[in-house]
Amino acid sequence: MRIREFKSVVKKYRTVFFDAFGVLKNHKGIIPGIENTFKYLDERGIDYYILTNDASRNPEALSGFYQQNGIHCITPDKIISSGMLAMDFLRSKIKTGAVAYLGTSASSHYIESAGLEAIPVQELQDGQFEDIKCMVFLDDEGFDWNNDINKVINLIRKKNMTVVVANTDINYPVNRNDIAVAIGGIASMVEDIVHKNFIRFGKPDAQMFMFGHERAMKKQPSLKRNEILMVGDTLYTDIIGGNKFGMDTALVLSGNTLPDMADIRIKGSGIIPDYICESVAIDPEESFVNAGNIHVKD
Amino acid sequence: MRIREFKSVVKKYRTVFFDAFGVLKNHKGIIPGIENTFKYLDERGIDYYILTNDASRNPEALSGFYQQNGIHCITPDKIISSGMLAMDFLRSKIKTGAVAYLGTSASSHYIESAGLEAIPVQELQDGQFEDIKCMVFLDDEGFDWNNDINKVINLIRKKNMTVVVANTDINYPVNRNDIAVAIGGIASMVEDIVHKNFIRFGKPDAQMFMFGHERAMKKQPSLKRNEILMVGDTLYTDIIGGNKFGMDTALVLSGNTLPDMADIRIKGSGIIPDYICESVAIDPEESFVNAGNIHVKD
Amino acid sequence: MRIREFKSVVKKYRTVFFDAFGVLKNHKGIIPGIENTFKYLDERGIDYYILTNDASRNPEALSGFYQQNGIHCITPDKIISSGMLAMDFLRSKIKTGAVAYLGTSASSHYIESAGLEAIPVQELQDGQFEDIKCMVFLDDEGFDWNNDINKVINLIRKKNMTVVVANTDINYPVNRNDIAVAIGGIASMVEDIVHKNFIRFGKPDAQMFMFGHERAMKKQPSLKRNEILMVGDTLYTDIIGGNKFGMDTALVLSGNTLPDMADIRIKGSGIIPDYICESVAIDPEESFVNAGNIHVKD
Amino acid sequence: MRIREFKSVVKKYRTVFFDAFGVLKNHKGIIPGIENTFKYLDERGIDYYILTNDASRNPEALSGFYQQNGIHCITPDKIISSGMLAMDFLRSKIKTGAVAYLGTSASSHYIESAGLEAIPVQELQDGQFEDIKCMVFLDDEGFDWNNDINKVINLIRKKNMTVVVANTDINYPVNRNDIAVAIGGIASMVEDIVHKNFIRFGKPDAQMFMFGHERAMKKQPSLKRNEILMVGDTLYTDIIGGNKFGMDTALVLSGNTLPDMADIRIKGSGIIPDYICESVAIDPEESFVNAGNIHVKD
């Protein structure tokens, strides 16, 4: 497939959904040139949101990263995290009671904001098992895997309850060379052992895109799915999920899918993006010129 | 769990989604008493839709079955089939060209209504492979499995294309004692062989419920998910899917889940419905009395 | 990895196990030069067997193919087929009664040679279900998929019985460009639908290599596993299975694994052969010279 | 199925293979009456072995448990552990170099006895990755899951190597009510993340039974598979594996498969033991009387 310039692709859409890691940031921090991208989008009146499989911290904290890096337009309302879907689920389906969780104390935000009591698995006593209404897998950090994974397995075996996984990813990059098990990977191991059916939130599941679409329609009530461009670096989450939801999709080569492997991966997987772009970064000068041109032309 | 009367459960909701097989009909035809159920819902102003994993015929034909059985309120607009999601997908993502399919000629409705040319796999010539933009698995009938499944496998291997499965079910009941492979089962076998990622539509996927919700909001624009009751006979599709989408759920014991196994299945699967009811059928006399009471009370 | 000459590799072993398709033959017939390979092995006193995932016909018929192509040394006792393992199983575990099967009438050899009555599924009457002791998946040909697969599903659901799959492969090549569903693929679809545990025979399972080893020990009673070289074109069956059994393994590039992909496949799969060879074919002149040299040296 | 007395079942066989947990011992220790079982077998000249998915300690240590509980006939040569298969594999396929492992220091016996250097993952330095020839999953204890699982994942991603799992079990019982993740469960999670193919040893794989058969033939060279009775408490490992290998199988109800669920489990799984027995324990008085009778009779 032909490589396209992101700027010329994106201008056909009313809204953009960005994946975070591999698209806007990487292990070194913000990808250079992103600030021009958002300037370009703002100038053209194209709305944008970040869709991220992450339940490790709340939208304020997730947006804080961009703020600290000078991308002030990424306010908390621009963040759609898989944790928010879990929170919505808890609010509508659990209603009252205590919820056990694996994750950092920051991640418990998604339980507490649903009006429920969040109990970290490490503090859970045997006698409390009966009081637990739901178990949530939030983050891979903040607990002792040796003890607490086994404790969760026995909790779920003894008390029938709804189990929620707030991030479908099975691993995530920690630096240029290394990856780590994500909470979704731990949850899959537990699910295999207890033979129960967990409820998972996150891309590529349609519910994530639906949540984003609903959020975007608050600003643009008439926004149709095919007026949204989903931009991601991973065929198996961003692109297949975006395609299925009826959005147009752009694969970027700044993350998970390396430039020399893109064609092989697309052919091998049968997951076909509408566009391929090197990156979403926009060269500052270009940005201004084009933005100017566009205003004239339009 | 305690068995509840369907009538007393449903009156708390603004809209009901019914699964079809095992809930409204079975191998003998319409489940007796269903006509009173719809009368009861109409009297109380509760809206209803049928959500069915079926792409074998169009909504008109699917509604025709109810019409012929005297349930005149099930008009085509009350039917939400997984085939309609596939049709929506084709319309927004494929746009032009020819689409190959496995299924009956009736099932090709979902391709043609998307404005595309539908070519049954059995008529596909080797030279045409390049023209095919998409392959759709619609129905298990209407083709020769020995020849046409292998033909599809080689089509997908030779030409990179989007592959759609318009019914996620892997089997379906054909009479009281027997089941048959559904098109979703054939599609899974093909997917394992070609190692590509197909796009699937149907319960328990969120997109099916989202489609139903959007349809229902045309009548009741303020309808929230937790004002909808999803009624089904299968924990693994209707109930887990309904729960995840944020609807309340009722398991009925008139189909797939037998009365004496319901508790074991719920405990074994970890999929917990909000209610269990024997059936959705309502006794006619009761219906009138209650409906009267209700009108007085309300 | 470095490409090695097959002749220099094989001379270190007392026995060779060959995969058939992609190693000794392909869609055009016998791979040229194979006759010299067997001459070379015979001259050096290296024993050889063909290990093949095939239950479509008996060892006599399988050896007949080589005989007709002038490779007279491949007598029936040189053939180890997965069907023979199924036959052994039937003989020791089923003992008496009728066995239903999917496959050609030639494939029923493996049931009848076990002293059991073989009933093709298409001839099976509903009333006979109780008499069936075992169901065997033998071959993808010889039956009507539309009818007989569903019939098998209902047979297995109604009568608890042992189910045997006499060929683990899910697909096989039919010509240079095309593949077809193998009986192992059909069996996997059925297993997913009935939720029962089938017994599978064929590479990469250890039992296949064990059978070969036992056969070879009839000639060389002291033969150790690491004195056998397993030669195959497929990492996922021949090589991983041979490695696990404790044999040395040689990957050839004349079949499934193409020369330019071998390194990527080995790295991607983590399946590491001891050697890589272009092919097992030996150039005739070379063969004689070398064979001579070897006799002198030895 | 009818419940049979173990004594009357076992007397038809020349050799018995026992699973350990749930058959000979449970969370409280040795199952009472086992000493009479072995006395009975000794008197009749029936040979016996313990086949256990365990690589946590060497056969001497595993036999020590029985010795300490007064079962002196269980000498180290009566123990067949999955760790021994891993050791055999390492000896024949790895030959020289360093092997990294997850497990207790006791478990490293299986690497060191193969003549290789065993390096616990926690001591592995980044610079050493190149020297590692093989990675072995031995036991769930003896390492820090949070750190060392991620370290293993990156080791396997960076250096292509053979990965061995010395125990296929995904969980194991720790007391009457609780289970824990076994090393096989951790290995499966890692395999899903790195997308490589690991080599697994343990029941139900044929290689485990083959190893037992070879050991038993040292005493009884003519021993055929159908002269061995495999006794286990788990359909999915002991029984299906024993059946496939061609041994007769007895399910006992003293462990994993509870008496009131045995029929449902057999029907649900399609895994059919030749016999069902309450337990292998033999009442002492009965034992002597019967043993006497038998000597007279025989």
Which residue from D minimizes the CA distance to C224?
Answer: D92
Cα distances (angstroms) measured from residue D266 to each of A259, C137, D1, D257, D269: 52, 21, 9, 10, 5
Q: Which residues pair with B134 in a beta bridge?
A: B99, B162
pLDDT in tens, A148-184: 999 999 999 999 999 999 999 999 999 889 999 999 9
Residues contacting A4, CB < 8 A, separation 6+: A250, A275, A276, A277
Tell me: ipTM over 0.85: yes
Higher local confidence (pLDDT), B286 or A189: A189
> What would the mean pLDDT of C72-100 be, rounded to a whole number?
96
- A160 and B CB contact within 8 Å: yes
Q: How many CB atoms lie within 10 A of CB B127?
A: 7
**What integer pLDDT is reported at residue D294 of this predicted model?**
31
CA end-to-end span of chain B = 29
Pick from D161, D197, D246: CB nearest C269: D197
pLDDT of C256 > 90? The answer is no
Chain A hits for D181, CB-CB cut-off 8 Å, are 149-150, 153, 189, 193
Cα distances (angstroms) measured from residue D95 to each of A13, B68, D114, D117, D166: 61, 76, 8, 11, 18
**What integer pLDDT is reported at residue B287 of this predicted model?**
44
Q: How many CB pairs under 8 A join A and B?
A: 81
> What would the mean pLDDT of C7-25 be, rounded to a whole number?
97
pLDDT of B298 > 60? The answer is no
**What integer pLDDT is reported at residue C204 of this predicted model?**
97
Give C249 to chain D, closest Cα distance, Å: 10
Angle (CA) A23-A27-A30 rounded to 5° is 55
Write down the mean pLDDT value for chain A.
93
Write down the mean pLDDT value for chain D.
93
Helices (H) and strands (E) in chain A, counts: 11, 16
**What integer pLDDT is reported at residue B217 of this predicted model?**
97
pLDDT of C290 > 80? The answer is no
The reply to whether residue A88 touches residue B196, judged by beta carbons under 8 angstroms, is no
Q: Is D234 helix (H, G, I), strand (E, B) or coil?
A: coil
**What integer pLDDT is reported at residue D102 of this predicted model?**
98
The reply to whether residue D240 touches residue C197, judged by beta carbons under 8 angstroms, is yes
CB proximity under 8 Å: D 219-248 to C: 225-226, 236, 240, 243-246
pLDDT of B244 > 70? The answer is yes
Cα distances (angstroms) measured from residue D284 to each of A91, B200, B283, D296: 61, 62, 64, 18
Task: Output DSSP code: residue B3.
Answer: E
pLDDT in tens, B204-232: 999 999 999 999 999 999 999 999 999 99
pLDDT in tens, C257-271: 989 889 999 999 999
Chain A hits for D179, CB-CB cut-off 8 Å, are 150, 153-154, 157, 193
Chain B hits for A229, CB-CB cut-off 8 Å, are none
pLDDT of D115 > 80? The answer is yes
pLDDT band at D109, cuts 50/70/90? very high
Measured CA to CA, the distance from residue C161 to residue C168 in angstroms comes to: 19
Chain C hits for B157, CB-CB cut-off 8 Å, are 179
Lowest pLDDT segment from B38-52, B283-297, D45-59, D114-128? B283-297
Mutate: best of A159, A192, A196, partner D, most D CBs <10 A: A192
Percent of chain D at pLDDT exceeding 70: 95
- C153 and B CB contact within 8 Å: yes
Q: Computed over its alpha carbons, how large is the radius of gyration of chain D?
A: 20
Mutate: best of D156, D159, D171, D172, partner A, most A CBs <10 A: D171
pLDDT of C176 > 90? The answer is no
**Cβ distance D205 to C208 under 8 Å?**
no
Please classify residue D195 by burial: count the beta carbons closer than 10 Å to its beta carbon, then call 0-12 exposed, 13-18 middle and 19+ buried: exposed
pLDDT band at C127, cuts 50/70/90? confident
The reply to whether residue B244 touches residue A89, judged by beta carbons under 8 angstroms, is yes
Q: How many CB pairs under 8 A join C and D?
A: 81
Chain A hits for B195, CB-CB cut-off 8 Å, are 268
**Cβ distance B140 to B183 under 8 Å?**
yes
pLDDT of C295 > 80? The answer is no
Nearest alpha-carbon partner for A111 in A122, A121, A123, A98: A98
Higher local confidence (pLDDT), D176 or B149: B149
Measured CA to CA, the distance from residue A138 to residue A130 in angstroms comes to: 21
Please classify residue B146 by burial: count the beta carbons closer than 10 Å to its beta carbon, then call 0-12 exposed, 13-18 middle and 19+ buried: middle
Whether omega before B204 lies within 30 degrees of 0, making that bond cis, reads yes
User: Could you please report the per-residue DSSP string of B213-243?
Assistant: HHHHHTTSTT--GGGEEEEES-IIIIIHHHH
Which residue from D minimizes the CA distance to C165?
Answer: D244
Give A50 to chain D, closest Cα distance, Å: 25
User: What length is written for chain A?
Assistant: 298
Cα pseudo-dihedral C88, D242, D261, B240, rounded to 10: -80
> What would the mean pLDDT of D40-53 be, rounded to a whole number?
98
**Cβ distance D62 to D54 under 8 Å?**
yes
The residue with tokens 């250079």 is: A32
**Cβ distance D114 to D95 under 8 Å?**
no
The reply to whether residue D160 touches residue C194, judged by beta carbons under 8 angstroms, is no
Measured CA to CA, the distance from residue D152 to residue A225 in angstroms comes to: 42
Which residue from D minimizes the CA distance to C270?
Answer: D196
pLDDT band at C212, cuts 50/70/90? very high
The reply to whether residue C199 touches residue D243, judged by beta carbons under 8 angstroms, is yes
Query: Over A167-225, what HEC string results?
Result: CCCCEEECCCCCEEECHHHHHHHHHHHHCCCCEECCCCCHHHHHHHHHHHHCCCCCCCH
**Cβ distance A277 to A1 under 8 Å?**
no
pLDDT band at D286, cuts 50/70/90? low
pLDDT of A290 > 50? The answer is no
Task: Look up residue A255 and give its two tokens.
Answer: 């993350």
Give B141 to chain C, closest Cα distance, Å: 8
The reply to whether residue D207 touches residue C156, judged by beta carbons under 8 angstroms, is no
Measured CA to CA, the distance from residue C163 to residue C89 in angstroms comes to: 11
> What would the mean pLDDT of B92-97 be, rounded to a whole number?
90
pLDDT band at B85, cuts 50/70/90? very high
The reply to whether residue B269 touches residue A196, judged by beta carbons under 8 angstroms, is yes
Pick from B163, B198, B267: CB nearest A160: B267
Subunit partners of chain C (3 or more CB pairs within 8 A): B, D
Long-range contacts of D281-286 (CB under 8 A, 24+ apart): D281/D6, D281/D31, D281/D32, D281/D33, D281/D34, D281/D36, D281/D37, D281/D254, D282/D6, D282/D7, D282/D33, D282/D36, D282/D37, D282/D39, D282/D40, D283/D33, D283/D36, D284/D33, D284/D36, D286/D7
**What integer pLDDT is reported at residue A256 of this predicted model?**
87
**What integer pLDDT is reported at residue C95 of this predicted model?**
85
**Cβ distance C36 to C282 under 8 Å?**
yes
Q: How many CB pairs under 8 A join B and C?
A: 65
Chain D hits for C269, CB-CB cut-off 8 Å, are 196-197
Percent of chain C at pLDDT exceeding 70: 95
Pick from D145, D170, D177: CB nearest A145: D145
Please give the single-letter amino acid code of residue C178: D
Q: What is the pTM of this model?
A: 0.94
Please give the single-letter amino acid code of residue C85: L
Pick from B154, B177, B185: CB nearest C189: B185
Measured CA to CA, the distance from residue C102 to residue C89 in angstroms comes to: 17
> What would the mean pLDDT of A277-287 be, rounded to a whole number?
80
The reply to whether residue A270 touches residue B156, judged by beta carbons under 8 angstroms, is yes
Measured CA to CA, the distance from residue A176 to residue B109 in angstroms comes to: 50
pLDDT band at C126, cuts 50/70/90? confident
pLDDT in tens, A195-234: 999 999 999 999 999 999 999 999 999 999 999 999 999 9
Write down the mean pLDDT value for chain B.
93
**What integer pLDDT is reported at residue C210 of this predicted model?**
97
> What would the mean pLDDT of B95-100 be, rounded to a whole number?
92
> What would the mean pLDDT of D222-242 be, rounded to a whole number?
97
pLDDT in tens, A52-67: 999 999 999 999 999 9
CB proximity under 8 Å: B 162-201 to C: 170-171, 174, 177-181, 185-186, 188-189, 192-193
Please classify residue B2 by burial: count the beta carbons closer than 10 Å to its beta carbon, then call 0-12 exposed, 13-18 middle and 19+ buried: exposed
Measured CA to CA, the distance from residue C253 to residue C240 in angstroms comes to: 16
Q: Is B204 helix (H, G, I), strand (E, B) or coil?
A: coil
Task: Look up residue C234 and give its two tokens.
Answer: 């497929």
**What integer pLDDT is reported at residue C38 of this predicted model?**
97
Q: Is A47 helix (H, G, I), strand (E, B) or coil?
A: strand
The reply to whether residue A170 touches residue D192, judged by beta carbons under 8 angstroms, is yes
> What would the mean pLDDT of D198-222 be, rounded to a whole number?
97
Residues contacting B45, CB < 8 A, separation 6+: none
The reply to whether residue A244 touches residue B195, judged by beta carbons under 8 angstroms, is no
Measured CA to CA, the distance from residue C102 to residue C137 in angstroms comes to: 5
**What integer pLDDT is reported at residue C297 of this predicted model?**
29
Nearest alpha-carbon partner for A25 in A57, A91, A69: A69
**What integer pLDDT is reported at residue A209 of this predicted model?**
98
pLDDT band at D95, cuts 50/70/90? confident
**What integer pLDDT is reported at residue B286 of this predicted model?**
54
The reply to whether residue A270 touches residue B243, judged by beta carbons under 8 angstroms, is no
The reply to whether residue C153 touches residue B193, judged by beta carbons under 8 angstroms, is no
User: Could you please report the per-residue DSSP string of A66-112?
Assistant: HHHTT-TT--GGGEEEHHHHHHHHHHHHT-SSEEEEES-TGGGHHHH
Query: Over chain C, what HEC string results?
Result: CCEECHHHHHCCCCEEEECCECCCEECCEECCCHHHHHHHHHHHCCEEEEEECCCCCCHHHHHHHHHHCCCCCCCHHHEEEHHHHHHHHHHHHCCCCEEEEECCCHHHHHHHCCCCEEEEHHHCCHHHHHHEEEEEECCCCCCCHHHHHHHHHHHHHHCCCEEEECCCCCEEECCCCCEEECHHHHHHHHHHHHCCCCEECCCCCHHHHHHHHHHHHCCCCCCCHHHEEEEECCHHHHHHHHHHHCCEEEEECCCCCCHHHHHHHHHHHCCCCCEEECCCCCCHHHHHHHHHHHHHHC
pLDDT of A287 > 90? The answer is no
Mutate: best of B129, B143, B145, B170, partner C, most C CBs <10 A: B145
- B161 and A CB contact within 8 Å: yes
Q: What angle separates helix C82-93 from helix C206-217, to the nearest 10 degrees?
A: 90
Measured CA to CA, the distance from residue C128 to residue D253 in angstroms comes to: 33
**What integer pLDDT is reported at residue D292 of this predicted model?**
34
Please give the single-letter amino acid code of residue D123: E
Q: What angle separates helix D34-44 from helix D284-297, to the nearest 10 degrees?
A: 10
Please classify residue C158 by burial: count the beta carbons closer than 10 Å to its beta carbon, then call 0-12 exposed, 13-18 middle and 19+ buried: middle
**Cβ distance D33 to D283 under 8 Å?**
yes
The reply to whether residue A268 touches residue B196, judged by beta carbons under 8 angstroms, is yes
Angle (CA) C26-C85-D9 rounded to 5° is 170
pLDDT of A288 > 60? The answer is no
> What would the mean pLDDT of D170-190 be, rounded to a whole number?
95
**What integer pLDDT is reported at residue D285 of this predicted model?**
60
User: Could you please report the per-residue DSSP string of D143-191?
Assistant: S-HHHHHHHHHHHHHHS--EEEES---SEEE-SSS-EEE-HHHHHHHHH
> What would the mean pLDDT of A115-130 be, rounded to a whole number?
94
Lowest pLDDT segment from B24-33, D40-49, D189-198? B24-33
